[in-house]
Amino acid sequence: MRVRLQGFNIIIIVLSGIALAYVAYPLVTLMVFVEPTMLLHAILRPQLTNAFILSVFSATASTFLLCIFGIPLSYFLARFENFPGKFILRIIVIVPLVLPPLASGALLLGVFGPYSPIVKAFPAVEFTQSVLGIIIAQTYVASPFIILASQAAFESVDESYENIARVLGKTRIETFFRVSLPLAKTGIVVGLILSWVRAIGELGATMMMAYNPHTISIQIFEDNAIGGLRNAVPDIILAIVLSLIAVFVFYITRRRQRQDLLRLRW
Amino acid sequence: MVELELVNLTKKFVGGFRLGPLNLKVNDDQILVIIGPTGSGKTTVLNLISGLLKPDGGSILVDGRDITSVPVERRNIGYTFQNPSLFPHMNVYENIIFGIKKKWKHRNNNDVDINNLLEDLGISYLTHRRIHGLSGGEMQKVSLARMLITKPKIILMDEPLAHLDTATKRKLRIEMRHILRRQSAPTICVTHFEDDVYALADSVCVLQSGIVEYSSKLGSLMMTRQYDSNDKDSTSRLLSNILTSIQGNNYLEGNVIKSLGGITTFKAGSTLLETLGNYNIGSKVGILIRPEDIILSKEIVKTSARNVLRSKVVKITKYDAAIVDVFMVADSFHLTSRITEEARADLQIHQGDEVFAMFKASSPQVVREEEKEEE
């Protein structure tokens, strides 16, 4: 569509330009601090590579946990008939999204902190200041993304497909795996990507649960605190590369999701 | 012989709508068409029989066995929805074999069964096509194949032709009866199109606000002339609409005795009539003729009309200020002709007179064809 430069269109273009510049300009200014030879040296620092690997591992692990527990919960919210208290469940699900991450971390410390019953029950397990602590924090904070996206994906699947599968002799579990899940697949994948990205970027709750070992976000925080922005640039560039890969996958999946929605709308 | 029976079936919904108590019986040589306005509970009946809904009371019996509490997937019921609901993530073949039980999947004759069925339905060419891009008629046939391949004990169809264009609807409507009759399974078809009744039904049942208001064999309904389209009673109006559907209110049935060069001769009662098209010799056809297409004369005159019926006028009613409907009995069936009052006065047609009703071979529209029954 050719955009005509008049009235409403001009206002939209100007406001969009300001918004875009606001998001992109910090990325440009970051380049001022980049010195290529120093950058490579800094990136290969063991501290940073360890933080990078730990972030990828913990974010993947928490996304995997969300797959196992979050997807069934989203199906439950989308498909089970309205019952008293369902509204409360919907609110509980979005709590980690609206709560300040530090507050989420504090809540988790209440459950997994030194004097909690869970820790007393499993004294050999290190729930805080450990990789497990990071995964617990990331899973909590990233959970709304997968649950809300999957719930919307299941709701967009016409129930008649599931009913037909049942009438054709499939049990509820067969129907879930052969019809509901494949039809909601792209929406769920979008949720998984968003959860993974959120877990990678998680700082507040992770700081409360496990400041050590360092994730990439904590490494950025610490390098900036010790040596200023110039010191944190390599960490930030690594984080940006990770995010860009995720954003790329996200957009490809979103495109497929749109095509799927068109197909489902028949 | 399989028999489906609903006994005092009831279902109450939160909004206050109540279905039943419903009592129906369908045999395996029977297609029951349930007709009724939107919201009368037609789809609810099918959902209760299939098990997608649980009744509040009553029972569903198949061959005398109570299946009311049997889970949906174990009822062996074939159900096609208003929307064909083909799985968009599978191709045509994958959709069709979806309902075949795992233990049957590796049988050698599965492919033969599938190929025969697809050929029967005329959709062999679709086997490996994707769902996206199929026409409405093709989708409906694939959905039918997916249901029939499971060899269901009972067949339920919810507005099977609702989404199709007029031409496809007309063609598929006639084909569908052939296909369904071959299954020998009690069949219930729900519709709000009066035309479907002519094409599919052995019996008709009218559902109004969750209650069966009328139930009879199609033949008995066709012989009835007591329903008025202006009646305050909505069931009467509905039945009148069936009898006076958009295509005409004259419905005749006869056996094909000759079909050659695009002209088919069939015997209705003891009268030979002609219509256009080729139909199987021995098959039974049902035709509709618009009342406007029937012309009347007091004596035999030579015209291009191929069909002439000696008839007796039983009633004359005003259609509007200038037009009258002349009701006649010819041979063993009823006919209505719509002519101007001026023409009636000119011809001096009165109740009790003998007249000749004429119509061209191109006037009848074949709405139903039944294959010759095996001896």
Together in a domain, A196 and A228: yes
Question: Strand B211-217 and strand B203-208: pairing?
Answer: antiparallel
Question: How far is Cα A1 from Cα B322, in angstroms, rounded to an integer?
Answer: 58
| A16 and A43 in a common domain | no
Same domain, A27 and A126: no
Beta strands in chain B (DSSP E): 3-12, 18-27, 31-35, 57-62, 65-66, 77-80, 154-158, 187-191, 203-208, 211-217, 250-260, 263-268, 271-276, 284-289, 295-297, 307-318, 323-330, 333-340, 354-359, 365-370
Is B83 in Cβ contact with A169 (below 8 Å)?
no
**Are residues A15 and A128 part of one domain?**
no
Are the beta carbons of B361 and B252 closer than 8 angstroms? no
Q: How many residues does chain B have?
A: 375
Same domain, A104 and A152: yes
Is A169 close to B150, i.e. CB distance below 8 A?
yes
Subunit contact A169:B73, Cβ cutoff 8 A: yes
Strands (E), B166-306: 187-191, 203-208, 211-217, 250-260, 263-268, 271-276, 284-289, 295-297
Is A99 a residue whose pLDDT tops 50?
yes
* The pair of three-digit structure tokens given for residue B133, joined into one six-digit string: 């891009």
Residue B236 confidence (pLDDT)? 65
Give the span between the Cα atoms of A68 and A137, in whole angstroms: 17
Phi, psi (deg, nearest 5) at residue B170: -60, -45
CA–CA distance, A33 with A11 (Å, rounded to integer): 34
- In the three-class reduction of DSSP (H, G, I as helix; E, B as strand; rest coil), residue B196 is classed as helix
N-term to C-term CA, chain B = 18
Place of tokens 């409405």: B136
Question: According to the model, what pLDDT value does residue A2 have?
Answer: 67
Domains of chain B by range and CATH?
3-243 (3.40.50.300), 250-370 (2.40.50.100)
Tokens of B79: 């159900």
Compute the distance between CA of residue A247 and CA of residue B212 in angstroms, rounded to an integer.
Answer: 59
The two tokens of residue A16 are 């969009």
Question: How many angstroms separate the most distant Cα atoms in chain A?
Answer: 69
Domain of residue A64, CATH code: 1.10.3720.10
Q: Which of B46, B75, B87 to mutate to test the interface with A (most CBs of A within 10 A)?
A: B87
Locate tokens 């440009």: which residue? Answer: A28
Looking at residue B128, its pLDDT comes to 85
What length is written for chain A? 266
Q: What three-state secondary structure class fits B283? A: coil
* Residues spanned by the domain of A150: 36-264
Count of CB pairs separated by less than 8 Å, A with B: 59
Q: What whole-number distance in Å separates Cα of residue B280 and Cα of residue B47?
A: 37
Q: Which of B44, B50, B67, B81 to mutate to test the interface with A (most CBs of A within 10 A)?
A: B81
Helix (H) / strand (E) containing A17: helix A7-32
Mean pLDDT to the nearest integer, A200-216: 91
Q: What span, in angstroms and rounded, lies between the C-alpha atoms of B89 and B126?
A: 16
Q: Are residues A42 and A7 in the same domain?
A: no
- Residue in the structure block whose two tokens are 């990205």: A197
Q: Report the domain count for chain A.
A: 2
Identify residues of A whose CB sits under 8 angstroms from chain B CBs.
Answer: 158, 160-161, 163-171, 178-179, 182-183, 260, 263-264, 266
Q: Is there a single domain that holds both residue A62 and residue A23?
A: no
Distant-in-sequence, close-in-space partners of A118: CB < 8 Å, separation ≥ 6: A111, A112, A127
Q: Which amino acid is at A87?
A: F
| Amino acid in position B165 | D
Report the alpha-carbon distance of residue B44 to residue B51 in Å, rounded. Answer: 10
Q: What is the pLDDT of residues A26-46, one digit of tens each?
A: 888 887 777 777 777 777 888
- The confidence band for A260, taking pLDDT boundaries of 50, 70 and 90, is low
Neighbours of B77 (CB within 10 A): 28
- Which DSSP letter does residue B129 get? -
Which comes out higher in pLDDT, residue B175 or A165?
A: A165
Q: Which residue has the tokens 């029977």?
A: B30
The interface predicted TM-score of the complex, written ipTM, equals: 0.75
Q: By three-state DSSP, how is residue A214 classified?
A: coil
Residues A158 and A74 in one domain: yes
Which residues is B368 bridged to in the sheet?
B286
What span, in angstroms and rounded, lies between the C-alpha atoms of B371 and B281? 9
- For the question of whether the overall pTM of this predicted structure is more than 0.80, the answer is no
The answer to whether residues A69 and A20 belong to one domain is no
Look up tokens 């008939």; give the residue. Answer: A81
Contact residues for B262 (Cβ-Cβ < 8 A; gap 6+)? B276, B277, B278
Which of B70, B82, B89, B102 to mutate to test binding with chain A, by most A CBs within 10 Å of its CB? B89
Q: Which of A160, A169, A171 sits opposite B85 (nearest CB)?
A: A160
Same domain, A22 and A97: no
A215 contact partners, CB below 8 Å, separation of at least 6: A51, A54, A55, A58, A134, A202, A206
Q: Which of B73, B81, B88 sits opposite A170 (nearest CB)?
A: B73
How far B367 CA lies from chain A's nearest CA (Å)? 29
Integer Rg of chain B from CA: 23
pLDDT of residue A173: 93
Helix (H, G, I), strand (E, B) or coil at B308: strand
**Minimal-distance CA residue of chain A relative to B136:** A266
- Sign, CA torsion A116/A118/A124/A128: negative
- Confirm if B323 and B337 have CB atoms less than 8 A apart: no
Enumerate the residues of chain B whose CB falls inside 8 A of the CB of residue A169: 73-74, 76, 99, 101, 150
Residues A138 and A121 both lie in one domain? yes
**pLDDT tens series, chain B, 375 aa:** 788 999 999 999 888 888 979 999 998 878 899 988 888 899 999 999 999 999 999 999 999 899 999 999 999 999 999 888 899 989 999 999 999 876 566 666 677 778 888 887 888 888 888 888 888 888 888 998 999 998 899 999 998 887 777 777 777 777 787 788 778 899 999 987 777 787 788 888 888 888 888 888 876 776 565 555 555 666 666 666 665 553 456 888 889 999 888 889 999 888 899 988 888 888 888 888 878 888 899 888 888 888 998 899 998 988 777 888 888 888 878 888 888 888 899 889 999 999 999 998 888 877 777 776 544
CB contact under 8 Å between A158 and B88, yes or no, is no
- Strands (E) in B112-182, as ranges, are 154-158
Backbone angles phi, psi at A2, to 5 degrees: -80, 130
Distances (CA, A) of B5 to A7, A195, B10, B28, B41: 69, 53, 14, 11, 17
Q: What is the DSSP letter of B130?
A: B
A167 and A44, same domain (yes or no) = yes
Q: Which helix (H) or strand (E) holds A141?
A: helix A131-156
3-class DSSP state for residue B352? coil
CA distances in angstroms from A104 to A64, A129, A200, B138, listed in the order given:
20, 16, 16, 54
Read off φ and ψ for residue B335, nearest 5 degrees: -135, 150
Q: Give the range among A27-36, A55-64, A176-185, B97-106 with minimum mean pLDDT.
A: B97-106
CB contact at 8 A, B247 and B281: no
Q: Quote the CA–CA distance of A119 and A133 in Å, as a whole number.
A: 12
CA distance B200 to B343: 37
Span B236-283, pLDDT tens digits: 666 666 655 534 568 888 899 998 888 899 998 888 999 888 888 888
ω before B84 within 30° of 0 (cis)? Answer: no
DSSP B143: H
Among candidate residues A147, A186, A146, A184, the one with its CA nearest the CA of residue A162: A184
